[in-house]
Structure 1
Amino acid sequence: MAGAMLEVRGADVFYGASQILFGVDLAVEKGQTMALLGRNGAGKSTTFKAIAGLAPPRRGRVILSGETVSGRPPYRIARAGIGYVPEDRQVFPEHTVEDNLLVGAKRGPRGEAHWTLARVYEVLPLLAGLRTRMAGRLSGGEQQMLTIARTLMGNPDILLLDEPSEGLAPLVVQAIGALIRTLRGMGVTILLAEQNMHFCLAIATHATVVDKGEVVYRGTIPELRANAAVTQRYLAV
Protein backbone atom coordinates (compact mmCIF):
# COMPACT_ATOMS: atom_id res chain seq x y z
CA MET A 1 0.00 0.00 0.00
CA ALA A 2 3.04 2.28 -0.10
CA GLY A 3 2.31 5.49 -1.95
CA ALA A 4 -1.48 5.13 -1.85
CA MET A 5 -3.48 8.35 -1.71
CA LEU A 6 -6.11 6.79 0.56
CA GLU A 7 -5.63 3.83 2.88
CA VAL A 8 -7.90 2.05 5.30
CA ARG A 9 -5.89 -0.19 7.61
CA GLY A 10 -7.52 -2.84 9.77
CA ALA A 11 -10.76 -0.93 10.30
CA ASP A 12 -13.24 -2.36 12.81
CA VAL A 13 -16.49 -0.41 12.86
CA PHE A 14 -19.42 -0.87 15.22
CA TYR A 15 -22.95 0.45 15.36
CA GLY A 16 -23.59 0.26 19.08
CA ALA A 17 -22.72 -3.29 20.14
CA SER A 18 -22.97 -4.68 16.60
CA GLN A 19 -19.74 -5.00 14.64
CA ILE A 20 -20.18 -4.16 10.94
CA LEU A 21 -16.61 -4.04 9.57
CA PHE A 22 -13.95 -6.59 10.46
CA GLY A 23 -10.36 -5.51 9.81
CA VAL A 24 -11.06 -3.84 6.47
CA ASP A 25 -7.96 -2.99 4.43
CA LEU A 26 -8.28 -0.79 1.35
CA ALA A 27 -5.93 1.30 -0.75
CA VAL A 28 -6.59 3.73 -3.60
CA GLU A 29 -3.73 5.23 -5.58
CA LYS A 30 -3.76 8.65 -7.20
CA GLY A 31 -5.73 8.62 -10.47
CA GLN A 32 -7.38 5.26 -9.85
CA THR A 33 -11.08 4.58 -10.06
CA MET A 34 -11.55 1.89 -7.43
CA ALA A 35 -14.86 0.03 -7.28
CA LEU A 36 -15.90 -1.19 -3.82
CA LEU A 37 -18.27 -4.01 -4.72
CA GLY A 38 -20.58 -6.20 -2.68
CA ARG A 39 -24.17 -7.16 -2.16
CA ASN A 40 -26.60 -5.01 -0.19
CA GLY A 41 -25.52 -5.02 3.47
CA ALA A 42 -21.96 -6.14 2.73
CA GLY A 43 -20.44 -3.06 4.42
CA LYS A 44 -19.78 -0.70 1.51
CA SER A 45 -21.62 2.35 2.88
CA THR A 46 -20.21 1.74 6.36
CA THR A 47 -16.70 1.74 4.87
CA PHE A 48 -17.44 5.12 3.31
CA LYS A 49 -18.82 6.46 6.58
CA ALA A 50 -15.70 5.23 8.36
CA ILE A 51 -13.50 7.09 5.87
CA ALA A 52 -15.60 10.27 6.14
CA GLY A 53 -15.63 10.20 9.94
CA LEU A 54 -19.36 9.55 10.26
CA ALA A 55 -18.76 6.07 11.72
CA PRO A 56 -15.22 6.27 13.10
CA PRO A 57 -13.30 2.97 13.33
CA ARG A 58 -13.00 1.60 16.84
CA ARG A 59 -9.75 -0.03 15.72
CA GLY A 60 -7.63 0.66 12.68
CA ARG A 61 -6.80 3.85 10.80
CA VAL A 62 -7.79 5.92 7.78
CA ILE A 63 -4.79 7.56 6.10
CA LEU A 64 -4.95 10.27 3.45
CA SER A 65 -1.74 11.18 1.59
CA GLY A 66 0.33 9.66 4.40
CA GLU A 67 -1.51 11.46 7.22
CA THR A 68 -3.89 9.75 9.64
CA VAL A 69 -7.30 11.42 9.50
CA SER A 70 -9.38 8.91 11.46
CA GLY A 71 -10.44 10.34 14.80
CA ARG A 72 -10.97 13.82 13.38
CA PRO A 73 -14.47 15.28 13.11
CA PRO A 74 -16.09 14.87 9.67
CA TYR A 75 -15.68 18.54 8.70
CA ARG A 76 -11.92 18.34 9.25
CA ILE A 77 -11.70 15.13 7.22
CA ALA A 78 -13.55 16.92 4.40
CA ARG A 79 -11.11 19.84 4.63
CA ALA A 80 -8.22 17.37 4.45
CA GLY A 81 -9.34 16.38 0.96
CA ILE A 82 -12.07 13.73 1.11
CA GLY A 83 -15.21 14.52 -0.90
CA TYR A 84 -18.16 12.28 0.07
CA VAL A 85 -21.27 11.90 -2.11
CA PRO A 86 -23.82 9.95 -0.01
CA GLU A 87 -26.22 7.46 -1.56
CA ASP A 88 -29.39 9.43 -0.82
CA ARG A 89 -28.60 12.48 -3.01
CA GLN A 90 -28.96 15.15 -0.33
CA VAL A 91 -29.65 18.44 -2.12
CA PHE A 92 -31.02 21.68 -0.70
CA PRO A 93 -34.44 21.42 -2.39
CA GLU A 94 -35.56 25.03 -1.94
CA HIS A 95 -32.36 26.49 -3.34
CA THR A 96 -31.32 26.75 -6.97
CA VAL A 97 -28.82 24.48 -8.66
CA GLU A 98 -26.24 27.26 -8.63
CA ASP A 99 -26.84 28.01 -4.95
CA ASN A 100 -26.31 24.31 -4.18
CA LEU A 101 -23.01 24.43 -6.03
CA LEU A 102 -21.88 27.59 -4.26
CA VAL A 103 -22.68 26.08 -0.85
CA GLY A 104 -20.08 23.38 -1.55
CA ALA A 105 -17.41 25.73 -2.89
CA LYS A 106 -14.08 25.80 -1.06
CA ARG A 107 -10.42 25.55 -1.87
CA GLY A 108 -8.66 22.22 -1.65
CA PRO A 109 -6.37 21.18 1.22
CA ARG A 110 -3.39 22.93 -0.37
CA GLY A 111 -5.33 25.93 -1.67
CA GLU A 112 -6.34 24.34 -4.98
CA ALA A 113 -9.18 25.90 -6.94
CA HIS A 114 -9.37 23.55 -9.92
CA TRP A 115 -13.15 23.25 -9.70
CA THR A 116 -15.12 26.45 -10.18
CA LEU A 117 -18.63 27.17 -11.42
CA ALA A 118 -17.26 27.68 -14.92
CA ARG A 119 -15.47 24.35 -14.94
CA VAL A 120 -18.45 22.49 -13.47
CA TYR A 121 -20.72 23.93 -16.16
CA GLU A 122 -18.16 22.99 -18.82
CA VAL A 123 -17.94 19.36 -17.63
CA LEU A 124 -21.67 19.08 -16.82
CA PRO A 125 -23.45 21.32 -19.35
CA LEU A 126 -26.79 19.87 -18.21
CA LEU A 127 -26.41 21.78 -14.94
CA ALA A 128 -25.62 25.02 -16.75
CA GLY A 129 -29.05 24.90 -18.34
CA LEU A 130 -30.66 24.22 -14.96
CA ARG A 131 -28.71 26.74 -12.89
CA THR A 132 -31.80 28.74 -11.84
CA ARG A 133 -34.06 25.74 -11.19
CA MET A 134 -34.88 24.71 -7.62
CA ALA A 135 -32.97 21.56 -6.77
CA GLY A 136 -36.11 19.94 -5.36
CA ARG A 137 -37.67 20.06 -8.84
CA LEU A 138 -34.85 18.09 -10.49
CA SER A 139 -35.16 14.46 -11.50
CA GLY A 140 -33.27 11.81 -9.56
CA GLY A 141 -30.54 11.70 -12.19
CA GLU A 142 -30.20 15.48 -12.25
CA GLN A 143 -29.94 15.53 -8.46
CA GLN A 144 -27.21 12.88 -8.63
CA MET A 145 -25.27 15.01 -11.11
CA LEU A 146 -25.74 18.01 -8.82
CA THR A 147 -24.48 16.25 -5.69
CA ILE A 148 -21.38 15.04 -7.54
CA ALA A 149 -20.74 18.53 -8.92
CA ARG A 150 -21.30 20.15 -5.52
CA THR A 151 -18.71 17.82 -3.98
CA LEU A 152 -16.24 18.62 -6.76
CA MET A 153 -16.69 22.32 -5.92
CA GLY A 154 -14.88 21.52 -2.67
CA ASN A 155 -11.75 20.57 -4.67
CA PRO A 156 -11.19 17.22 -2.94
CA ASP A 157 -8.17 14.96 -3.43
CA ILE A 158 -10.44 11.90 -3.69
CA LEU A 159 -14.12 11.55 -4.55
CA LEU A 160 -16.22 8.96 -2.69
CA LEU A 161 -19.35 8.00 -4.66
CA ASP A 162 -21.80 5.85 -2.71
CA GLU A 163 -24.18 3.88 -4.98
CA PRO A 164 -24.40 6.56 -7.71
CA SER A 165 -26.52 4.35 -10.01
CA GLU A 166 -29.06 3.27 -7.39
CA GLY A 167 -32.71 3.82 -8.33
CA LEU A 168 -31.97 5.50 -11.65
CA ALA A 169 -33.30 4.66 -15.10
CA PRO A 170 -30.88 2.85 -17.46
CA LEU A 171 -30.31 5.90 -19.67
CA VAL A 172 -29.52 8.01 -16.61
CA VAL A 173 -27.14 5.33 -15.33
CA GLN A 174 -25.33 5.54 -18.67
CA ALA A 175 -25.02 9.31 -18.25
CA ILE A 176 -23.61 8.91 -14.72
CA GLY A 177 -21.15 6.35 -16.06
CA ALA A 178 -20.07 8.74 -18.82
CA LEU A 179 -19.49 11.47 -16.23
CA ILE A 180 -17.34 9.16 -14.08
CA ARG A 181 -15.28 8.16 -17.13
CA THR A 182 -14.82 11.85 -17.94
CA LEU A 183 -13.62 12.54 -14.40
CA ARG A 184 -11.29 9.55 -14.56
CA GLY A 185 -9.86 10.90 -17.79
CA MET A 186 -9.22 14.21 -16.04
CA GLY A 187 -7.16 12.42 -13.38
CA VAL A 188 -9.74 12.58 -10.56
CA THR A 189 -9.17 9.85 -7.96
CA ILE A 190 -12.44 8.02 -7.28
CA LEU A 191 -13.64 5.39 -4.82
CA LEU A 192 -16.99 4.05 -5.98
CA ALA A 193 -19.31 1.84 -3.90
CA GLU A 194 -21.75 -0.20 -5.96
CA GLN A 195 -23.90 -3.32 -6.06
CA ASN A 196 -24.08 -3.03 -9.85
CA MET A 197 -21.01 -4.95 -10.97
CA HIS A 198 -21.66 -4.44 -14.68
CA PHE A 199 -21.84 -0.67 -14.20
CA CYS A 200 -18.45 -0.72 -12.47
CA LEU A 201 -16.80 -3.02 -14.99
CA ALA A 202 -17.28 -0.33 -17.62
CA ILE A 203 -15.85 2.59 -15.63
CA ALA A 204 -13.46 1.40 -12.89
CA THR A 205 -9.78 0.47 -13.12
CA HIS A 206 -9.57 -1.64 -9.95
CA ALA A 207 -11.94 -3.49 -7.63
CA THR A 208 -12.20 -4.47 -3.99
CA VAL A 209 -14.98 -6.88 -3.00
CA VAL A 210 -16.48 -6.95 0.49
CA ASP A 211 -18.76 -9.53 2.04
CA LYS A 212 -20.17 -9.53 5.56
CA GLY A 213 -17.89 -6.66 6.54
CA GLU A 214 -14.64 -8.24 5.31
CA VAL A 215 -12.53 -7.76 2.20
CA VAL A 216 -12.62 -10.98 0.17
CA TYR A 217 -10.97 -9.90 -3.09
CA ARG A 218 -8.68 -7.24 -4.58
CA GLY A 219 -7.55 -6.87 -8.17
CA THR A 220 -7.78 -5.04 -11.44
CA ILE A 221 -11.02 -4.95 -13.42
CA PRO A 222 -9.65 -7.38 -16.07
CA GLU A 223 -8.67 -9.77 -13.26
CA LEU A 224 -12.16 -9.54 -11.76
CA ARG A 225 -13.77 -10.16 -15.15
CA ALA A 226 -11.75 -13.36 -15.44
CA ASN A 227 -12.55 -14.61 -11.93
CA ALA A 228 -15.93 -16.32 -12.26
CA ALA A 229 -15.64 -17.86 -8.78
CA VAL A 230 -15.54 -14.44 -7.09
CA THR A 231 -18.26 -12.87 -9.22
CA GLN A 232 -20.60 -15.82 -8.75
CA ARG A 233 -20.02 -16.20 -5.03
CA TYR A 234 -20.04 -12.58 -3.93
CA LEU A 235 -21.61 -10.46 -6.67
CA ALA A 236 -24.23 -12.55 -8.49
CA VAL A 237 -27.81 -11.54 -7.69
Structure 2
Amino acid sequence: MAAPILEVRAADVFYGASQILFGIDLAVERGQTMALLGRNGAGKSTTFKAIAGIAPPRRGQIALSGTTVSGKPPYLVARAGIGYVPEDRQVFPEHTVEDNLIVGAKPGPRGDRHWTTARIYEVFPILAGMRHRIAGRLSGGEQQMLTIARTLMGNPDILLLDEPSEGLAPIIVRAIGDLIRTLREMGVTILLAEQNMHFCMGIATHATVIDKGQVVYSDTIAALRGNEAVMQRYLAV
Protein backbone atom coordinates (compact mmCIF):
# COMPACT_ATOMS: atom_id res chain seq x y z
CA MET A 1 0.00 0.00 0.00
CA ALA A 2 1.39 3.39 -1.01
CA ALA A 3 2.28 5.86 1.71
CA PRO A 4 -0.28 8.70 1.98
CA ILE A 5 0.64 11.99 0.36
CA LEU A 6 -1.32 13.71 3.17
CA GLU A 7 -1.75 12.27 6.64
CA VAL A 8 -3.52 13.81 9.61
CA ARG A 9 -2.94 11.91 12.85
CA ALA A 10 -4.91 12.41 16.09
CA ALA A 11 -5.34 16.15 15.50
CA ASP A 12 -7.04 18.25 18.18
CA VAL A 13 -7.89 21.79 17.12
CA PHE A 14 -9.14 24.59 19.34
CA TYR A 15 -10.53 28.07 18.73
CA GLY A 16 -9.49 29.76 21.95
CA ALA A 17 -10.76 27.58 24.78
CA SER A 18 -13.29 25.75 22.58
CA GLN A 19 -12.24 22.42 21.09
CA ILE A 20 -13.52 21.96 17.52
CA LEU A 21 -11.71 18.83 16.27
CA PHE A 22 -11.20 15.72 18.40
CA GLY A 23 -8.45 13.31 17.36
CA ILE A 24 -8.96 13.64 13.60
CA ASP A 25 -7.33 10.89 11.52
CA LEU A 26 -7.28 11.33 7.75
CA ALA A 27 -5.12 9.92 4.96
CA VAL A 28 -5.13 10.76 1.24
CA GLU A 29 -3.05 8.81 -1.26
CA ARG A 30 -1.60 10.27 -4.45
CA GLY A 31 -4.17 10.43 -7.23
CA GLN A 32 -7.19 10.03 -4.95
CA THR A 33 -10.13 12.39 -4.82
CA MET A 34 -11.17 12.20 -1.17
CA ALA A 35 -14.51 13.74 -0.16
CA LEU A 36 -14.63 15.04 3.41
CA LEU A 37 -18.37 14.92 4.05
CA GLY A 38 -20.46 16.21 6.91
CA ARG A 39 -23.29 18.51 7.83
CA ASN A 40 -22.79 22.24 8.26
CA GLY A 41 -20.70 22.84 11.38
CA ALA A 42 -19.28 19.30 11.49
CA GLY A 43 -15.67 20.55 11.32
CA LYS A 44 -14.82 20.28 7.63
CA SER A 45 -13.52 23.83 7.13
CA THR A 46 -11.61 23.69 10.44
CA THR A 47 -9.91 20.49 9.23
CA PHE A 48 -8.83 22.33 6.08
CA LYS A 49 -7.58 25.30 8.08
CA ALA A 50 -5.60 22.93 10.30
CA ILE A 51 -3.98 21.31 7.26
CA ALA A 52 -3.20 24.70 5.72
CA GLY A 53 -1.59 25.98 8.92
CA ILE A 54 -4.25 28.61 9.61
CA ALA A 55 -5.62 26.80 12.68
CA PRO A 56 -2.73 24.53 13.70
CA PRO A 57 -3.56 21.53 15.89
CA ARG A 58 -2.77 21.81 19.57
CA ARG A 59 -2.11 18.07 19.63
CA GLY A 60 -1.47 15.55 16.87
CA GLN A 61 0.46 15.80 13.62
CA ILE A 62 -0.04 16.65 9.95
CA ALA A 63 2.44 15.29 7.40
CA LEU A 64 2.86 15.86 3.67
CA SER A 65 4.79 13.16 1.79
CA GLY A 66 6.13 11.97 5.14
CA THR A 67 7.37 15.40 6.27
CA THR A 68 5.68 17.08 9.23
CA VAL A 69 4.06 20.40 8.31
CA SER A 70 1.95 20.98 11.42
CA GLY A 71 3.29 23.91 13.39
CA LYS A 72 4.69 25.65 10.33
CA PRO A 73 3.26 29.02 9.21
CA PRO A 74 0.76 28.89 6.31
CA TYR A 75 3.21 30.22 3.71
CA LEU A 76 5.64 27.38 4.43
CA VAL A 77 2.80 24.85 4.33
CA ALA A 78 1.88 26.22 0.89
CA ARG A 79 5.49 25.95 -0.28
CA ALA A 80 5.56 22.35 0.95
CA GLY A 81 2.81 21.49 -1.55
CA ILE A 82 -0.62 22.29 -0.05
CA GLY A 83 -2.92 24.19 -2.41
CA TYR A 84 -5.88 25.59 -0.44
CA VAL A 85 -9.04 26.93 -2.12
CA PRO A 86 -11.17 28.52 0.65
CA GLU A 87 -14.95 28.46 0.61
CA ASP A 88 -15.40 32.20 0.04
CA ARG A 89 -13.79 32.41 -3.43
CA GLN A 90 -11.15 35.04 -2.68
CA VAL A 91 -10.04 36.67 -5.93
CA PHE A 92 -8.20 39.95 -6.42
CA PRO A 93 -11.28 41.85 -7.64
CA GLU A 94 -9.54 44.87 -9.19
CA HIS A 95 -7.14 42.75 -11.27
CA THR A 96 -7.71 40.79 -14.45
CA VAL A 97 -8.16 37.04 -14.67
CA GLU A 98 -4.63 36.69 -16.03
CA ASP A 99 -3.19 38.91 -13.31
CA ASN A 100 -4.83 36.64 -10.72
CA LEU A 101 -3.21 33.61 -12.32
CA ILE A 102 0.22 35.23 -12.47
CA VAL A 103 -0.01 36.24 -8.80
CA GLY A 104 -0.51 32.57 -7.89
CA ALA A 105 2.36 31.26 -10.03
CA LYS A 106 5.22 29.52 -8.24
CA PRO A 107 7.18 26.29 -8.68
CA GLY A 108 6.08 23.20 -6.82
CA PRO A 109 7.98 21.78 -3.83
CA ARG A 110 10.44 20.01 -6.15
CA GLY A 111 10.79 22.94 -8.53
CA ASP A 112 8.27 21.62 -11.05
CA ARG A 113 6.11 23.97 -13.13
CA HIS A 114 3.51 21.65 -14.61
CA TRP A 115 0.84 24.34 -14.38
CA THR A 116 1.38 27.43 -16.54
CA THR A 117 -1.08 29.98 -17.90
CA ALA A 118 -1.08 28.12 -21.23
CA ARG A 119 -2.04 24.84 -19.56
CA ILE A 120 -4.64 26.57 -17.38
CA TYR A 121 -6.32 27.98 -20.48
CA GLU A 122 -6.40 24.49 -22.02
CA VAL A 123 -8.08 22.96 -18.95
CA PHE A 124 -10.22 26.04 -18.17
CA PRO A 125 -11.25 27.28 -21.64
CA ILE A 126 -13.86 29.57 -20.10
CA LEU A 127 -11.04 31.55 -18.46
CA ALA A 128 -9.12 31.83 -21.73
CA GLY A 129 -11.86 34.01 -23.17
CA MET A 130 -11.91 36.15 -20.01
CA ARG A 131 -8.18 36.63 -19.48
CA HIS A 132 -8.45 40.44 -19.71
CA ARG A 133 -11.69 40.72 -17.72
CA ILE A 134 -11.63 42.24 -14.22
CA ALA A 135 -12.05 39.39 -11.73
CA GLY A 136 -14.51 41.29 -9.55
CA ARG A 137 -16.95 41.36 -12.48
CA LEU A 138 -17.05 37.59 -12.89
CA SER A 139 -20.00 35.51 -11.74
CA GLY A 140 -19.70 33.38 -8.62
CA GLY A 141 -19.06 30.25 -10.68
CA GLU A 142 -16.43 31.97 -12.80
CA GLN A 143 -14.70 33.25 -9.66
CA GLN A 144 -14.73 29.72 -8.25
CA MET A 145 -13.02 28.40 -11.38
CA LEU A 146 -10.50 31.24 -11.26
CA THR A 147 -9.66 30.52 -7.62
CA ILE A 148 -9.09 26.84 -8.40
CA ALA A 149 -6.97 27.75 -11.44
CA ARG A 150 -4.91 30.28 -9.46
CA THR A 151 -4.21 27.67 -6.79
CA LEU A 152 -3.08 25.16 -9.42
CA MET A 153 -0.62 27.80 -10.68
CA GLY A 154 1.26 27.15 -7.44
CA ASN A 155 1.88 23.55 -8.61
CA PRO A 156 0.70 21.93 -5.36
CA ASP A 157 1.01 18.23 -4.51
CA ILE A 158 -2.57 18.19 -3.21
CA LEU A 159 -5.51 20.50 -3.85
CA LEU A 160 -7.89 21.33 -0.98
CA LEU A 161 -11.32 22.44 -2.21
CA ASP A 162 -13.58 23.80 0.53
CA GLU A 163 -17.29 23.68 -0.41
CA PRO A 164 -16.77 24.37 -4.14
CA SER A 165 -20.48 23.92 -4.97
CA GLU A 166 -21.80 26.21 -2.24
CA GLY A 167 -24.12 29.01 -3.38
CA LEU A 168 -23.87 28.20 -7.09
CA ALA A 169 -26.65 27.58 -9.60
CA PRO A 170 -27.21 23.90 -10.53
CA ILE A 171 -25.78 24.33 -14.04
CA ILE A 172 -22.60 25.86 -12.59
CA VAL A 173 -22.37 23.10 -9.98
CA ARG A 174 -22.38 20.58 -12.84
CA ALA A 175 -19.60 22.53 -14.57
CA ILE A 176 -17.51 22.54 -11.37
CA GLY A 177 -18.13 18.80 -11.05
CA ASP A 178 -16.96 18.23 -14.63
CA LEU A 179 -13.83 20.27 -13.90
CA ILE A 180 -13.01 18.23 -10.77
CA ARG A 181 -13.47 15.00 -12.73
CA THR A 182 -11.09 16.32 -15.39
CA LEU A 183 -8.48 17.16 -12.75
CA ARG A 184 -8.90 13.72 -11.20
CA GLU A 185 -8.35 12.06 -14.58
CA MET A 186 -5.21 14.17 -14.98
CA GLY A 187 -3.87 12.67 -11.75
CA VAL A 188 -4.38 15.70 -9.49
CA THR A 189 -4.73 14.66 -5.83
CA ILE A 190 -7.80 16.34 -4.33
CA LEU A 191 -9.31 16.65 -0.86
CA LEU A 192 -12.83 18.00 -1.24
CA ALA A 193 -14.94 19.28 1.68
CA GLU A 194 -18.68 19.17 0.98
CA GLN A 195 -22.03 18.85 2.69
CA ASN A 196 -23.61 18.12 -0.72
CA MET A 197 -23.27 14.33 -0.71
CA HIS A 198 -24.88 13.90 -4.14
CA PHE A 199 -22.36 16.29 -5.71
CA CYS A 200 -19.51 14.10 -4.47
CA MET A 201 -20.92 10.71 -5.44
CA GLY A 202 -19.97 11.01 -9.10
CA ILE A 203 -16.68 12.83 -8.44
CA ALA A 204 -14.83 11.35 -5.48
CA THR A 205 -13.01 8.02 -5.28
CA HIS A 206 -13.01 7.87 -1.47
CA ALA A 207 -14.98 9.41 1.38
CA THR A 208 -14.38 10.36 4.99
CA VAL A 209 -17.37 11.43 7.09
CA ILE A 210 -16.94 13.87 9.94
CA ASP A 211 -19.50 14.63 12.66
CA LYS A 212 -19.13 16.92 15.67
CA GLY A 213 -15.41 17.24 15.05
CA GLN A 214 -14.70 13.51 14.84
CA VAL A 215 -14.18 11.09 11.94
CA VAL A 216 -17.01 8.55 12.05
CA TYR A 217 -16.49 6.72 8.74
CA SER A 218 -13.86 6.32 6.03
CA ASP A 219 -13.98 4.07 2.93
CA THR A 220 -14.38 4.15 -0.83
CA ILE A 221 -17.19 6.21 -2.30
CA ALA A 222 -18.75 2.98 -3.59
CA ALA A 223 -18.83 1.55 -0.07
CA LEU A 224 -20.45 4.73 1.26
CA ARG A 225 -23.04 4.60 -1.51
CA GLY A 226 -24.07 1.18 -0.23
CA ASN A 227 -24.12 2.19 3.44
CA GLU A 228 -27.58 3.64 3.97
CA ALA A 229 -27.18 3.74 7.76
CA VAL A 230 -24.15 6.07 7.63
CA MET A 231 -25.73 8.32 5.01
CA GLN A 232 -28.98 8.64 6.98
CA ARG A 233 -27.30 9.19 10.33
CA TYR A 234 -24.60 11.67 9.38
CA LEU A 235 -25.41 13.15 5.96
CA ALA A 236 -29.18 13.33 5.53
CA VAL A 237 -30.57 16.85 5.86
Task: Tell me whether 1:75 sits opposite 2:79 in the alignment.
Answer: no
User: Is the CA contact 2:159–2:191 (under 8 Å) kept in the aligned structure 1?
Assistant: yes
In structure 2, how many angstroms separate the alpha carbons of the residues matched to 1:218 and 1:71? 26
1:65-117 deviation per Cα after TM superposition (whole angstroms, max 9, x unaligned): 00000000000000000000000000000000000000000000000100000
State the secondary structure of the residue aligned to 1:8.
Answer: strand
- Match for residue 7 of structure 2? 7
**Cα offset for 1:38?**
0.0
SS in structure 1 of the partner of residue 171 of structure 2:
helix
Given the alignment of the two structures, is residue 221 of structure 1 paired with residue 237 of structure 2, yes or no?
A: no
Q: Which amino acid aligns with 1:97?
A: V
Aligned amino acid, residue 169 of structure 1 = A
1:208-236 residue CA offsets vs partner (Å, 9 max, x unmatched): 00000000000001100000000000000
Aligned match of 1:104: 104
Corresponding position of 1:175: 175
Partner of 1:91: 91
Q: 2:60 corresponds to which residue?
A: 60
CA distance in 2, matches of 1:204, 1:2: 19
The aligned amino acid for 1:193 is A
Is residue 2:129 matched to residue 1:129? yes
- One-letter code aligned to 2:101: L
Following TM superposition, where does structure 1 have runs of at least 4 consecutive aligned residues deviating by more than 4 angstroms? none
- Partner AA of 1:30 in structure 2: R
- Provide structure 2 residue ranges, at least 5 long, that are not aligned to the other structure: none
Q: What SS does structure 1 have at the residue aligned with 2:8?
A: strand
Q: State the secondary structure of the residue aligned to 2:49.
A: helix
Cα deviations by residue, 1:101-152 (Å, 9 ceiling, x for unpaired): 0000000000010000000000000000000000000000000000000000
Amino acid of the structure 2 residue aligned with 1:192: L
1:158-199, Cα deviation, whole Å (9 max, x unpaired): 000000000000000000000000000000000000000000
Matches of 1:112 and 1:68 in 2, distance apart? 21
Alignment match, 2:204: 204
CA distance in 1, matches of 2:187, 2:51: 21
Q: Does 1:148 align with 2:148?
A: yes
Aligned to 1:232: 232
1:2 Cα deviation from its structure 2 partner: 6.2
SS for the counterpart of 1:176 is helix
| Equivalent position SS for 2:168 | coil
Amino acid in structure 2 at the alignment position of 1:9: R
Aligned-residue identity in percent: 83
CA shift for structure 1 position 50? 0.2
* Secondary structure of 1:147 counterpart: helix
The answer (yes or no) to whether the contact 2:3–2:29 under 8 Å persists in 1 is yes
Q: Distance in 2 between matches of 1:123 and 1:225?
A: 29
Residue 47 of structure 2 corresponds to which residue in structure 1?
47
* Paired residue secondary structure (1:10): strand
1:5-27 residue CA offsets vs partner (Å, 9 max, x unmatched): 00000000000000000000000
Question: TM-score, with normalisation over the residues of structure 2?
Answer: 0.99
TM-score, normalising length from structure 1? Answer: 0.99
CA contact (8 A) 2:63 2:69 kept: yes
1:56 offset after TM fit, Å? 0.2
